Amino acid sequence: MPLYAFKCSGCNHSFDEFLTLANRENPIKSPCPNCKKKKVKKDWQASTPSLAMDTTLNPQKVVGSQFKEVIDRIKTSGQVPKRFHSKLDASANLNAGRVVR
């Protein structure tokens, strides 16, 4: 579930809530949990942890240690032109956007 940030324009109280897509507007329709006024708005400037990037993420973490084997199968399938094989090889060595040598 996504984390949504809200702020009351009456008392400047900020709060976050994990909400389903269908319920994301509920806090706007409800009174502020702090001052009880109906002045809650979405806080678009708040930084939410759900938008943070994992800088330790690499292909091995995503699909396990078989990522290079998957890339090799893609290359040998005949579906990808040979001119793109070097890019596939480079993607197998990515670590947080940096090429690992």
DSSP string over 6-34: EEETTT--EEEEE--GGGTTHHHHSPPTT
Assess whether pLDDT exceeds 60 at residue 101. no
pLDDT, residue 96, reads 46
Residue 38 has pLDDT above 90, yes or no: yes
When pLDDT is cut at 50, 70 and 90, the band that residue 80 belongs to is confident
- Backbone conformation region of residue 90, classed left if phi is above 0, alpha if psi is from -120 to 50, else beta: alpha
Q: Where in the chain is the domain with CATH 2.20.28?
A: 3-49
Percent of the chain with pLDDT over 70: 70
CATH of 3-49 given 2.20.28, 3.40.1350, 3.30.420, 3.40.50: 2.20.28
Find, among 69, 77, 101, 75, the residue nearest to 88 by Cα.
75
